[in-house]
Amino acid sequence: MGIDNASLDSRLERILFDQGKIRQCIAEMGKRISEDYEGGDLTIVAVLQGGVLFLADLIREIRLPLRMDSISVASYHGGTSSSGTVTFHQTRLPEVEGRDVIVLDDILDSGRTLAAILDRIRTECRPRSLRSAVLLSKRVERAVPVEADYCGFEIGDEFVVGYGLDYRGEYRNLPVIGVLRREWIDEGI
Ligand code: IMP
Ligand code: MG
Residues 22-52: pLDDT tens digits? Answer: 999 999 999 999 999 999 999 999 999 999 9
> DSSP alpha helices (H): ranges in the chain?
5-9, 19-36, 52-59, 112-125
Mind listing the pLDDT tens digit for each residue in 69-91?
999 987 766 667 766 788 888 77
How far apart are alpha carbons 46 and 154 in whole angstroms?
Answer: 20
Which CATH number goes with the domain that contains 105? 3.40.50.2020
Catalytic residue among 41, 109, 119, 186: 109
Residue 161 lies in a domain: no
Q: Residue 103: which of 129, 80, 77 has the closest Cα?
A: 129
For the CA of 167, the closest atom of ligand 1 is 21
Q: How many domains does the chain have?
A: 1
Mind listing the pLDDT tens digit for each residue in 117-157?
999 999 999 999 999 999 999 999 999 999 999 999 999 99
Residue 3 lies in a domain: no
Cα(100) to centroid of ligand 1, in Å? 25
Assess whether 109 carries a catalytic annotation. Answer: yes
In this prediction, residue 39 carries a pLDDT of: 96
Contact call for residues 146 and 163 (beta carbons, < 8 A): no
Q: Does the beta carbon of 111 lie inside 6 Å of ligand 1?
A: yes
Beta strand 66-74 with 42-48 is parallel
Q: Does the beta carbon of 76 lie inside 6 Å of ligand 1?
A: yes
- Its domain, for residue 98, covers 19-156
Residue 175 lies in a domain: no
Residue 162 lies in a domain: no
pTM, two decimals, is 0.93
How far apart are alpha carbons 145 and 110 in whole angstroms?
Answer: 9
Residue 46 lies in a domain: yes
Residue 136 lies in a domain: yes
Residue 163 backbone phi and psi in degrees, to 5: 50, 50
**Which ligand is the nearest neighbour of the Cα of 169?**
1
User: What H or E segment, with its residue span, contains residue 108?
Assistant: strand 100-108
How far apart are alpha carbons 160 and 137 in whole angstroms?
Answer: 11
For the CA of 82, the closest atom of ligand 1 is 3
Cα(109) to centroid of ligand 1, in Å? 6
Cα(39) to centroid of ligand 2, in Å? 30
In this prediction, residue 6 carries a pLDDT of: 67
> 92: how many CB neighbours lie within 10 A of its CB?
9
Residue 12 lies in a domain: no
CA atoms within 13 A on the CB side of 92: 5
Residue 173 lies in a domain: no
